[in-house]
A and B are shown apart, each in its own frame.
Chain A
Amino acid sequence: MNCAECQEQLVPYIEQLLDEAQAEQVARHLQECPSCQAELEGLQTLQARLVSNGKAVAQSDLEEDVMNRIIREQSVRLKSATQASASLRLRRLIMNNPTTRVAAAAAVIVACVAGMMLWQGTESIALADVLAKVEQIQAYMFKSTTTMEDPTMGTSTTESTVLLSNDYGMRVDQSSVDAETGEESQVEMYVLPQEKAIVMLHLSEKQYARVTLDDATLENSKIENRDPRAMLKHLLACEYRDLGRSVVDGYQVQGFETTDPKFLGGIARNHRMTLWVDVDTWLPVRSETETEVSEGIRATGAEYDFQWGVAVHASQFEPDIPDDFTPHQMNNFRQPSYSEQGFIEALQLAVEFTGHYPDGLSHDSLRSLTMEITQAITTGDSPAAQQWREQIKAAGSKEAAIRMGQERMMKLTSLTMFNLLLAGQQKDPVYHGDVVTPADVELPLMRWKAADGQYRVIFGDLHAETVSADLLAELEAALPQ
C-alpha cells in the first residue's frame, strides 16, 4: 500500500468501516510510515475536538421551550385562523388561479388610467389630450412591488416586471419571497388574447400550466383594456383629493389620492390609492396602493419605472416551455365564466349549500359565504353536500379531488368579478341579496344597464329578463326595506 492509498482509507479506517484484511493493510502501512501516522493523529485530534464540541452543544435543550412557544402561538393563531380560514381558502384559490392574478395585474392598469382621469378635476390638464396620448401608446412597461400581509399565511413580497402590448398581449415576470422562510419562487406569465389562453411557467418548480379563457370573459376584458374612456368615466365617479406638486423619482409631478371604496368596486374594507403624474408628459410616474382586504389581511403595493411606448417583438410574448417541465395542477384548467351565466351558476352553488344568497358581493361577504359552504360540505346533510362528499371519495386521487373542489369553488369568484366588470363598464350594477330569497320570483336580485333605458334583471328564482327602466323602478319599489 502506498501513502495515497493509505490516506484515502484513513476515514473508513477510523470509522471502522474496513474489513479485517483492509484494516490490517492500513495498520501495517501506518506503522512503517511516519507521515501517514502524523496525518492520522491530526485527524484524530480534529475528531476529538469535534466530538467534545458536539457534546458541549448537545447540553442545550430547546425542546421544551420550542414546544411551549409553538403551543402558545398556535392558540393565538387559531383564534384569528377560525375567523380567517375561509377567506384564506378563497384567497388561496384566487392566488392559485392565473386569471384572478391577472385581474390583480389589470387593477394596476386601471390604477394608471384612473390617475389620468383624476386630472379632469384640475383646470391645468385637458383630459382629451391625455386620452389621445394614451390611445397612441402601443406598448409599455413598468415594475411593481406588492407585499401581502396575512396573520396565518405570513408575509410575502412579490416583484414584477409587466410588459403590455396592444398587438400581442401581456407578459409578467414575477418573483416572490416568503418573509419567514426566505423561499423564493419565480413565475413567468403570458396573457395571450389571440389564443384565448393564459400560460404560466413556474420556474422554481419546473411546472407549467395553460388555462383556457371563456369567451365572455375574454370579451369583457377586451372592453376593459381597449376602452380606457369607459373606465375614465367610471373612475371619475370616485372622490379624490389633489395633493399638489412635488418631486417623485426625479420628476416634477402632481399627486392625486382617492380613498373612495367605489374605486375597487366595494370589495375591500379600506383602500387608498395615490398617483403621481409627470407634469410635463401627463403620464403616470408612480402609484401606490394600500388595501385592507379583510380583517388582518393587508396589501401594499407600488408601480413605478413606467416606460411608455416601448418597442416590442412577437417573440417576447411566446412562452417557451422547457422539455423537463411537468404540467402544474392548474394545467388545462377552465377559467370560470365572468358572465351572466357564470354569475347565476355561482348564486346557484351558494343556494344549494346554504339555502340563501350572499348578503353582498364584497370580499367580506364572500368570506362568510365560503365559510358557510365549507362547513356545509364537511358536515351538512343537504343533498348537494352529500353528493359533493361522494364525488370527492370517487375522485380516485387526492390531486383529482383538490382539482375538482377548486374548479367548483372558483366559480364563486364570478360573484365579485362579474360585478366588478359591470361597474368598470359603467353599467350601474346593483345587488339585493340581503333582502331577496330564492322564493322571490318577482323580486330583482341583481340588475345592470343593458342598453339605453333597458335593464337586465336576475330575479330571486334566478331567471333573467330584460326590462325597461320604468318597470325596474316598480320592481325595486317592491323590495322590502
Chain B
Amino acid sequence: MEKDGYYVARCLDGHPDDFRHLVRRYQPVLLAHLAGKLGSRDGAEEAAQEALVRAYFNMSKLKEPQKFFSWLLGIGERVAKEQQRKESVRRQREMVRASTQEALKPELSPDYGLEAAVAGLPEPYRQVILLRYYGTLSCAGIANQLDMPLGTVTKTLSRAYALLREAMQQRQEANEV
C-alpha cells in the first residue's frame, strides 16, 4: 500500500484519478469525525464530500504531504463549522416562520452518543480511534502511518478508551437529570 505522500504527488502531477485512493482510505474516518460534530449522517456525508473536493483543489498548498490526513481533518472541521452556521441560520428562520420554539432538528445518527464522544476527544486520541475503527487499520498500521512506536499506539488507545467511556458516562448522566 502506497503512503499518502505518493498519491498527493501523483495528483499534483496531473493524475486526478489517483485521488480515489485517498478518498477510499479516508472517507469513513472523515465521516465518523464529521458525524460526531454535526450529529446527522446526511450532514456528515455532505460535509465530507465538500471537504474532500476542497482538499483536492488545494493540494498544492499542503506543505507536508505525509500529513495529508490531519490536514484533511482540519478542512473537514472548517466545513463542519460553516455548515453548522448555515444550519443555525436555517433553524432560526424556520423558528420565526413556524412561530414555535421547537424547530425541526435533523435526525440524529443511531449511535450519536458514541460519535459525539469520539469527535470530542483531544488529539492524538481522536486520530488513533478514528484510524483504528473507521480507517480499519491495525495497531501496527497506525504506528506506521503516524510514525509512532507500537507501544505508544496501544497506550494512546488505552487512554482513549478511558476518555470515551468517561465522556459517554457523563452524557448519560446529563440525560438522566
**Interface of A with B (CB < 8 Å)?**
8, 10-12, 15, 17, 42-43, 46-47, 49-54, 56-58, 60-63, 65-67, 69-71, 73-74, 77, 154, 178, 180-183, 205
Q: What's the minimum C-beta distance from A182 to chain B, rounded to whole angstroms? A: 4
Q: What's the minimum C-beta distance from A72 to chain B, rounded to whole angstroms? A: 10
User: CA separation between A360 and B54, bound complex, in Å?
Assistant: 37
Q: Given B53, B133, B150, B161, which contacts A66 in the complex, CB threshold below 8 Å?
A: B53
Q: Judge whether A15 and B161 touch: CB under 8 Å.
A: no
Tell me whether B23 is interfacial, beta carbon within 8 Å.
yes
Tell me whether B139 is interfacial, beta carbon within 8 Å.
yes
Chain B residue contacts of A15, Cβ below 8 A: 138-139, 154, 157
User: CA separation between A47 and B164, bound complex, in Å?
Assistant: 11
User: CA separation between A150 and B75, bound complex, in Å?
Assistant: 19
Q: What's the minimum C-beta distance from A392 to chain B, rounded to whole angstroms? A: 18
Q: Judge whether B49 and A66 touch: CB under 8 Å.
A: yes
Q: Judge whether B58 and A178 touch: CB under 8 Å.
A: yes
Q: Judge whether B161 and A63 touch: CB under 8 Å.
A: no
- Given A11-B154, A67-B23, are A77 and B164 also a contact pair (CB < 8 Å)? no
Most buried by A among B28, B110, B134, B157: B28
- Given A53-B114, A66-B52, are A10 and B61 also a contact pair (CB < 8 Å)? no
Q: Judge whether B164 and A46 touch: CB under 8 Å.
A: yes
Name B56's closest neighbour in chain A (CB-CB).
A70
24 contacts between A and B (CB under 8 A): A8-B158, A11-B154, A11-B155, A15-B138, A15-B139, A43-B161, A46-B161, A53-B111, A54-B133, A57-B28, A57-B31, A57-B35, A60-B27, A60-B28, A60-B31, A66-B23, A66-B53, A66-B56, A67-B20, A69-B49, A70-B53, A73-B53, A180-B54, A181-B54
- Given A49-B111, A56-B110, A60-B45, are A181 and B27 also a contact pair (CB < 8 Å)? no
Chain A residue contacts of B138, Cβ below 8 A: 15
User: CA separation between A77 and B52, bound complex, in Å?
Assistant: 17
Tell me whether B136 is interfacial, beta carbon within 8 Å.
yes
Which chain B residues (132-158) contact chain A, with CB distance < 8 Å?
132-134, 136, 138-139, 150, 154-155, 157-158
Name B112's closest neighbour in chain A (CB-CB).
A53
Q: Given A54, A67, A70, A181, which contacts B32 in the complex, CB threshold below 8 Å?
A: A54
Tell me whether B93 is interfacial, beta carbon within 8 Å.
no
Q: What's the minimum C-beta distance from B33 to chain A, rounded to whole angstroms? A: 10
Q: Judge whether B134 and A54 touch: CB under 8 Å.
A: yes
Besides the contacts A53-B111, A57-B32, A181-B71, what 20 more A-B pairs have beta carbons closer than 8 Å? Answer: A8-B158, A15-B138, A15-B139, A15-B157, A17-B150, A50-B129, A53-B32, A53-B114, A53-B133, A54-B136, A66-B23, A66-B27, A66-B53, A67-B20, A70-B16, A73-B53, A178-B61, A180-B54, A183-B74, A205-B63
Most buried by A among B16, B115, B155, B161: B161
Q: Judge whether A63 and B24 touch: CB under 8 Å.
A: yes
User: CA separation between A8 and B151, bound complex, in Å?
Assistant: 11
User: CA separation between A69 and B55, bound complex, in Å?
Assistant: 12
Chain A residue contacts of B136, Cβ below 8 A: 54, 58
Name B75's closest neighbour in chain A (CB-CB).
A181
User: CA separation between A181 and B74, bound complex, in Å?
Assistant: 8
Q: Given A17, A52, A70, A183, which contacts B154 in the complex, CB threshold below 8 Å?
A: A17
